[in-house]
Amino acid sequence: MSIIKDASLAPSGIKKIEWVKSYMPVLSAIGERFKKERPFEGMKIAMSIHLEAKTAYLALTLAAGGAKVYATGCNPLSTQDDIAAALVTLGIDTFAIHGANEEEYTAHLTETLSCKPDIIIDDGGDFVAILHGSSPELAENLRGGCEETTTGVARLAARDKAGKLNFPMFAVNNAKCKHLFDNRHGTGQSVWDAIMNTTNCLIAGKKVVVAGYGFCGRGVALRAKGLGANVIICEADPFRALEAYAEGYSVMSMDEASSEGDIFVTTTGCRDIITKRHFEKMKDGVLLTNAGHFDCEINKVDLKALSVDVEVRKPNIEGYRMADGRILNLLGEGRLVNLAAGNGHPAEIMDLSFAVQALMMEYIARLPEIPEASLYEVPAEIDKLVASEKLSASGITIDNLTEEQETYLKSW
């Protein structure tokens, strides 16, 4: 059984999946091996992750390895209905509709988990929240799972520290092959792709305010600089603020930046980065966008309360008119702009992230014993293997240390 918008959209979704496949050679090679070895025979894998073409290809790769896969989204605006339809046609039970309300979204997640999975993939921690809150019985067969993003890992670490994590979870986000490329270069490109496509605005010469100079923020800032913007960084961590300064960016508080910026991008994973006192100072026509996991970085309650009128100006752009006539433009309802108003990261980048996910699914499936409930890192060999395979698929050779060099590096 599945819950999707419209099964007739499948042909468009299948074409999108076919397109990304050719840019994901590492995942494809893993899929070929899975087909022969069937590491997931008899197992159920439930995934909650942005439901677009690259994710669909991951689901199909796991299914090729013998898993019965159940898929849902991790944000109602990032679900692509044609991809959901394609997945159903290709044999994956799917529960996701673009634009679902909060209640429907949670029902879709719970429905996906009702298969009582052996392994889960979570993105942001909503699956884990359900398995510890409303429906803990759905975790009865669970061997463990993987978390895709920074925010989800932060939530897991807090739960683990409090002794409240009931099963093992692996922090895929922390693998080098994930955050160094997906968070930085993936978000860096896809955020600007989404902003430019949605608004048709010029970036050159604009003042772009990036809140958070973490892995995502530095990618967004770097690409904005490359497009000719004047980039301002807002940070709470003194080291990262200093790094941004040393890398040539203007650094200031959001209180100062709010009257300067033309385009705002939040990438902190924290809440209330842009609030009432900032909106009050902003220029007419600013673009407000968020690339952090949850839609709490730009305070929409404050924005609504200050506005006398809200108008949909273009798809994915709501104009909030202030009492003094200024219009502040919010993109993608303040949800991750690159997924809510774009196509997500480039396929070549997701090849790395999803190769790690696929190998971690196999690692969990093959564990002789279920480890103690805790948050674990991805084994370094898996991370290194994915990096080496990506280099080789890209036709790049690198130097190998000689025995003498290894000895030299380890000697005193």
Ligand X SMILES: NC(=O)c1ccc[n+]([C@@H]2O[C@H](COP(=O)([O-])OP(=O)(O)OC[C@H]3O[C@@H](n4cnc5c(N)ncnc54)[C@H](O)[C@@H]3O)[C@@H](O)[C@H]2O)c1
Kindly state whether residue 125 participates in binding ligand X, applying the rule CB under 6 A.
Answer: no
Three-state secondary structure call for residue 100: coil
Q: Which is nearer to ligand X, 178 or 326 (CB)?
A: 178
How wide is the angle at C-alpha 204 spanned by C-alphas 198 and 206, nearest 5°?
80
Q: Which of 21, 108, 179, 223 binds ligand X (CB under 6 A)?
A: 179
Exactly one of 39, 144, 145, 214 binds ligand X (CB under 6 A); which one? 214
SS3 318: strand
Which of 100, 234, 244, 359: binder of ligand X (CB under 6 A)? 234
* Paired strand residues for 317: 314, 331
Residue of minimal Cβ distance to ligand X: 214
321 to 340: interface string for ligand X, x by CB under 6 A: ---------------x-x--
Identity of the residue, 45 or 211, whose beta carbon is nearer to ligand X in the bound complex: 211
Report in angstroms how near the CB of residue 383 gets to ligand X at its nearest: 16
Q: Does 236 bind ligand X (CB under 6 A)?
A: yes
3-state secondary structure (DSSP) of residue 8: helix
What is the Cα 371 distance to its own chain's centre?
26
Alpha-carbon torsion (161, 166, 167, 170), positive or negative: negative
Minimum gap (Å) between residue 131 Cβ and ligand X:
19
Instruction: Give the residue, chosen from 125, 144, 188, 292, that forms a contact with ligand X under the rule CB under 6 A.
Output: 292
> How many residues at the interface with ligand X, by CB under 6 A?
29
Q: Measuring CA to CA, which residue among 5, 352, 55 is closest to residue 180?
A: 352
| 299: Cβ contacts below 8 Å, ≥ 6 apart | 271, 272, 274, 275, 276
Q: How far is CA 405 from the centre of its chain?
A: 39
CB of 237 or CB of 381, closer to ligand X = 237
At its nearest, how many Å lie between ligand X and the CB of residue 66? 30
Is the distance from CB of 352 to CB of 390 less than 8 angstroms?
yes
Closer to ligand X by Cβ: residue 252 or 393? 252
Pick 100 or 273: Cβ nearer ligand X: 273
Q: Are strands 169-171 and 207-211 parallel, antiparallel or unpaired?
A: unpaired
Residue 75 as a binder of ligand X (CB under 6 A): the answer is no
CA pair distance 78, 47, nearest whole angstrom: 14
CA distances, 151 to each of 32, 60, 300, 350, 357 (Å): 32, 26, 20, 18, 17
Instruction: Indicate the residue among 65 and 217 with the shorter CB distance to ligand X.
Output: 217
Give the residue with the Cβ less far from ligand X, 110 or 149: 149
The amino acid present at 281, given as its one-letter code, is K
Give the SS3 label for residue 124: coil
Binding flag, residue 217, ligand X (CB under 6 A): yes
Give the pair of three-digit tokens for residue 20. Answer: 């990304």
The separation between CA 137 and the C-alpha centre of its own chain, rounded to angstroms, equals 27
List the beta bridge partners of residue 70.
46, 93
- Among 76, 261, 269, 334, which residue sits at the site for ligand X (rule: CB under 6 A)? 269
CB of 118 to ligand X, least distance (A): 25
The residue among 126 and 235 lying less far from ligand X, judged by its C-beta, is: 235
* 172/16 Cα distance (integer angstroms): 25
Cβ-contact 217, 198 below 8 angstroms = no
Pick the piece of the chain touching ligand X (CB under 6 A) from 2-10, 87-95, 176-184, 306-314: 176-184
Here the tokens at position 406 are 């290894």
Q: Specify the stretch interacting with ligand X by CB under 6 A; choose among 109-117, 192-200, 210-218, 325-333.
A: 210-218
What gap in Å lies between CA 223 and CA 190, rounded to an integer?
Answer: 10
Among the listed residues 273, 274, 355, 356, the single contact to ligand X using CB under 6 A: 273
User: For ligand X, which is the closer residue by CB, 93 or 123?
Assistant: 123
240 binds ligand X (CB under 6 A): yes
Q: Which of 112, 183, 189, 316 binds ligand X (CB under 6 A)?
A: 183
Residue number with CB closer to ligand X (183 or 258): 183
Q: Is 127 in the site for ligand X (CB under 6 A)?
A: no
Rounded CA-CA distance 147/125 in Å is 7
Region binding ligand X by CB under 6 A among candidate stretches 127-135, 230-238, 363-371, 377-385: 230-238
**Residue 353: CB minimum distance to ligand X, A:** 9
Contact positions vs ligand X (CB under 6 A): 149-151, 179, 182-183, 187, 211-217, 234-237, 240, 267-270, 273, 291-293, 336, 338
